[in-house]
Structure 1
Amino acid sequence: MSRRISEVLGDSAREPLLPTRLEDSSQDLDAEGEVVFERSNISDGQKREQKKLSYEEAVEAAGFGFFHGLLLVVCGWANASDAVEILCVSFLLPTARCDLKLSSTDMGLLTASIFLGMMVGGYMWGYLADQRGRKNVLVISLTVNGVFGGLASLAPWFWLFLLLRFISGVGVGGSIPVIFSYFSEFQPCSRRGAMISALATFWMAGNILAASLAWLVIPSTSSRFTLGSLDFQSWRVFVVLCSIPSLSSAFIFSLAMPESPKFLMEAGQEAEALDVFQMMFNLNQRGNSKSFQITGLTITSNSERVRAEVTRCSESHRITHIFKKGLAPIRQLFTKPLTTRSIVLVIIFFCISFGYYGLWMWFPELFKRTADGGSPCANVSRPQSVENESCYPVKTTVYKDGFITAASNLPGNVFTILLMDVIGGKILLSCSLLLSAVSVFFIWVVKTKAQSLVMSCVFSAVSVIAWNALDVISTELYPTQLRSTALGLLTGVSRVGAIMGNMVFGQLVDSHCAVPILLVSALLLTGGLTALRLPHTRQTALT
């Protein structure tokens, strides 16, 4: 753009822009053959021209205000619903294992099932979002999450419960990466880092909500009832309640939210994108007499080339072409200039997921080992048979500790909101991973359960900064036509790390407790050093 938006509008900001065909030497086509615009009433009689606005200029012209606050709440609720669906499994295990007759192996499979589903759904939904639009994919994936998550409460057999949780995970795997692509594409670059960090804090809200519901519902004997031949225990009621956020979020998106204007521009739907910018402007300028000035948007030649390629591919009905079409975005992610950043992000996502989910799921076991004093790895014991343990009455300590640990995310979330656009995601990501590695390295030094709880809170508060920084960086490093695909792929890598982390802890925590803990520390250190290879993205424009 040859002029800034303020220079284009000038003092006549309230006068509408009208396309005008000029009869003299001043033409209404610029050097690239695009229609330019002229003001209909100019006091000095001189004719001035305006080019079509790019995406970033249109976002700036639409303003920042009420619409973005509403968008944050709606997208944040969707993000929180995903957290509830993932974390609810860890809270229902203490009682569900008795009703479903689960062995330790079964519990490991159940914990891994949702991550397996997320791994499958991550790339699939991400690819569809880049081809068919963000909004529709969000509605469908959130619905899949909520419906099958709720149906799991009715499963009388473990294998059916496992299958339904897997399908629910497929839905979660779609909504997590797509929600960040969708949200970021409404944000001006000067506020994008802070707003994405604010969106990421809703994961903490979902964590707290899940812990609160578990603390309130599962120990309660009054919530138990009989449904036909099924004894509907309190943990089943908890599973139903955890499905409500996803379903309500899908309902809100389907009725009230627009498609991403960035996606619409990339798809060549200029009129629809203008309508979205108009709505954003109207909501942001409520009570203001300013009028909407944007009458044209620039569609880049690169976008047209990508759309043409997609169209040509979609015309083929042969399986081989369809398969190639699905793999094409992955090949683009590892083609210059995206090669280095994609490899680095794959390494980081694997390292942080292996460490975070592996260690997080085993904190209760480490707490139990410090109950009589000593470090978590000093009191090595053999696994206790589930049949020899009683699930009732339900102990509330695990839910209280979960609530405290979830609440410890708050300082890290506030820190990233305030400083993401000041420091930049790259520095925050690297420092957070390095500090997390140090905190995990000394975890076996603690001597009491209280100290273990404090250490888990420190790890939680520091590691959440890395997650928030990753949400910002991975969104800004990829172009629109690959953004959801990239986030879906990285989410899939993350799930592989989470599954492997839980498997390693399960195999070694009894015989060589220090090994998985030191491995987590080493991987977090590796991720922190690798992050230094990423480019800076602070306040960069989306491509």
Structure 2
Amino acid sequence: MNSAAEDDYIIEEAERTLLPSQSTEKATEYETAISEAGYGRFHLKLLLLCGWAVSSDAIEVVCISFVLPSATCDFRMTGFYKGLLTAIIFLGMLFGGYIWGAISDIFGRRSTLLMSLLINSIGGGVSSLCQKYWMFLIFRLISGIGVGGALPVIFTYFCEFQPKAKRGIMISVLATCWMSGNIISAALACFYGLWMWFPEIFNKMEKYGGTVCSISHGNSTVNETQSFCDPISKSIYWEGLVVAAANLPGNIFTIFFIEKVGRRWLLSASMVASGLSAFAILGMKTRLHNILLSCLFSCISVVGWNALDVLNPELYPTELRSTATGFFSGVGRLATIAANLSFGLLVDIHCAIPLILVSGLLVFGGLSSLLLPETRNVDLH
């Protein structure tokens, strides 16, 4: 382990902001200083603190999917209002990502991260006490603004302390903390448009039987809006826990292969395979088969998310890294909002439509990601 003096040396060298006017020779000195300082207590403490923040953000995002079946009864929500509830946090993340990202590049990562986490905790805490749908919606939005700022800043801040030889592995380890948040959420009760609806789908299958797209009760098709307060099977929360835990093999795979295979190849393969597994959900006829396929989707898709978490901060220069990461994260939130709203509307008509759309977009995105540059073992600028 490094001594305290070595830890201070790492911090001093890493906090020197590289301006555009400085030469590429200076950037090389930065990477050299980070590498020669070694790896020790400072990096472990940094991983624990940033990992805790990532897990907290994961709980805030994912918890609504486990609340949804009960909230449907309490707030008497139709499919559209359920879609709006799952989408509202991503609207907050859309604005929060860009605003906090820009603030981080101007005023520094640490203070911005602390402020965004504070806003997240306030929004989440107050929303847990809300008794009205519109109040719940507002504070979920506030929570999303905090989460949207914290996530890009966490990964940017963590990335800038990692030597290039270990950067991919350590960011993948940090990304694994998202799985921890998922598991905690499931025990107390990540692909957003589809993932957020898994517990709702499990609940329908548990109550009515049949395939995911032909939920029936006896010989007649059941309309979801017929009863807001049907008893909720506790097994759906255990099923959610199992699906969340299925992230683990994918996380381990990423840690071991991110530096060997490269970022874009893992991202592409993961997205294409996720699209195919999502499409296969249409053919599942039993709850067990659906759970197993959902676990497969969870395991495969997390590889792509981890690769993206590594790739994102490596593509941009230091003075724009948080702003760019937050901006493109915000663009992704627009798609997430559209996915959740459309899923809420279309799933009540026929769930085959959104599942086919999810599958097609994942495959298309996976093939398109091959056009991205490979950043493995590249100096941060």
Which TM-score tier does this pair reach, normalised by the shorter chain?
A: 0.7 to 0.9
Structure 1 counterpart of 2:124, which letter? G
Using a 3 Å threshold, how does the CA distance of structure 1 residues 154 and 507 change in structure 2: closer, same or farther? closer
After TM superposition, give the deviation of residue 127 of structure 1 in Å.
Answer: 0.6
User: Are the equivalent residues in 2 in contact too, given 1:368–1:449 (CA < 8 A)?
Assistant: no
Is 1:367 matched with 2:182? Answer: no
User: Are the equivalent residues in 2 in contact too, given 1:441–1:517 (CA < 8 A)?
Assistant: yes
For 2:134 and 2:142, the matched residues in 1 are separated by 13
Equivalent residue of 2:192, what SS?
Answer: helix
For 1:419 and 1:57, the matched residues in 2 are separated by 24
Q: Where does structure 2 lack aligned partners over 5 or more consecutive residues?
A: 1-21
2:213 to 351, 368, 377: 377
Is 1:111 matched with 2:86? Answer: yes
What's the CA shift string for 1:64-92, capped at 9, x where partnerless? 12221111111000000000011111222
For 1:510 and 1:161, the matched residues in 2 are separated by 23
Which residue of the partner structure matches residue 113 of structure 2? 138
Equivalent residue of 2:128, what SS?
Answer: helix
1:69 to 36, 41, 44: 44
Which residue of the partner structure matches residue 170 of structure 2? 195
Using a 3 Å threshold, how does the CA distance of structure 1 residues 492 and 376 change in structure 2: closer, same or farther? same
For 2:77 and 2:269, the matched residues in 1 are separated by 40
After TM superposition, give the deviation of residue 53 of structure 1 in Å.
Answer: 7.5
Is 1:410 matched with 2:237? Answer: no
After TM superposition, give the deviation of residue 387 of structure 1 in Å.
Answer: 5.0
Using a 3 Å threshold, how does the CA distance of structure 1 residues 133 and 180 change in structure 2: closer, same or farther? same
Structure 2 counterpart of 1:377, which letter? C
Q: How does 1:76-475 map to 2 (within 5 A)?
A: 76-214=51-189, 356-368=191-203, 370-371=205-206, 374-379=210-215, 381=221, 383-385=223-225, 388-390=228-230, 395-475=233-313
For 1:388 and 1:138, the matched residues in 2 are separated by 40
For 1:111 and 1:399, the matched residues in 2 are separated by 17
User: Are the equivalent residues in 2 in contact too, given 1:104–1:386 (CA < 8 A)?
Assistant: no
What's the CA shift string for 1:13-59, capped at 9, x where partnerless? xxxxxxxxxxxxxxxxxxxxx9xxxxxxxxxxxxxxxx997211111
For 2:226 and 2:116, the matched residues in 1 are separated by 35
After TM superposition, give the deviation of residue 357 of structure 1 in Å.
Answer: 1.3
User: Are the equivalent residues in 1 in contact too, given 2:80–2:344 (CA < 8 A)?
Assistant: no
For 2:69 and 2:289, the matched residues in 1 are separated by 23
2:34 to 59, 67, 72: 59
User: Are the equivalent residues in 1 in contact too, given 2:251–2:302 (CA < 8 A)?
Assistant: yes
Using a 3 Å threshold, how does the CA distance of structure 1 residues 122 and 383 change in structure 2: closer, same or farther? farther
Using a 3 Å threshold, how does the CA distance of structure 1 residues 360 and 492 change in structure 2: closer, same or farther? same
What's the CA shift string for 1:101-141, capped at 9, x where partnerless? 54443332221111111111010000100111000100000
For 1:516 and 1:99, the matched residues in 2 are separated by 26
Equivalent residue of 2:377, what SS?
Answer: coil
Structure 1 counterpart of 2:283, which letter? V
User: Are the equivalent residues in 1 in contact too, given 2:268–2:369 (CA < 8 A)?
Assistant: yes
Which residue of the partner structure matches residue 231 of structure 1? none
Using a 3 Å threshold, how does the CA distance of structure 1 residues 156 and 386 change in structure 2: closer, same or farther? farther
Give the greater-gyration-radius structure (CA).
1
After TM superposition, give the deviation of residue 373 of structure 1 in Å.
Answer: 5.7
Using a 3 Å threshold, how does the CA distance of structure 1 residues 90 and 388 change in structure 2: closer, same or farther? closer
For 1:447 and 1:536, the matched residues in 2 are separated by 41
Is 1:478 matched with 2:316? Answer: yes
User: Are the equivalent residues in 2 in contact too, given 1:123–1:485 (CA < 8 A)?
Assistant: yes
After TM superposition, give the deviation of residue 445 of structure 1 in Å.
Answer: 1.6
For 2:106 and 2:76, the matched residues in 1 are separated by 44
Using a 3 Å threshold, how does the CA distance of structure 1 residues 388 and 407 change in structure 2: closer, same or farther? closer
For 1:441 and 1:398, the matched residues in 2 are separated by 21
After TM superposition, give the deviation of residue 540 of structure 1 in Å.
Answer: 1.1
Superposed CA RMSD? 2.1
Q: Where does structure 1 lack aligned partners over 5 or more consecutive residues?
A: 1-33, 35-50, 215-352
What's the CA shift string for 1:432-480, capped at 9, x where partnerless? 1111111122221222010000010000000000000000111111111
Using a 3 Å threshold, how does the CA distance of structure 1 residues 145 and 368 change in structure 2: closer, same or farther? closer
What's the CA shift string for 1:156-209, capped at 9, x where partnerless? 322122111111110000000100000000000000000000000000000001
User: Are the equivalent residues in 2 in contact too, given 1:180–1:471 (CA < 8 A)?
Assistant: yes
Identify, as 1 or 2, the structure richer in helix. Answer: 2
Is 1:537 matched with 2:372? Answer: no
Aligned length: 352
Structure 1 counterpart of 2:359, which letter? S
Using a 3 Å threshold, how does the CA distance of structure 1 residues 368 and 164 change in structure 2: closer, same or farther? closer
Which residue of the partner structure matches residue 500 of structure 1? 338
Using a 3 Å threshold, how does the CA distance of structure 1 residues 382 and 399 change in structure 2: closer, same or farther? same
After TM superposition, give the deviation of residue 98 of structure 1 in Å.
Answer: 3.6
After TM superposition, give the deviation of residue 93 of structure 1 in Å.
Answer: 2.6
Structure number with higher relative contact order (C-alpha < 8 Å, ≥ 6 residues apart) = 2
Structure 1 counterpart of 2:244, which letter? A
For 2:108 and 2:93, the matched residues in 1 are separated by 20
Tell which deviates more after alignment, 489-498 or 100-109: 100-109
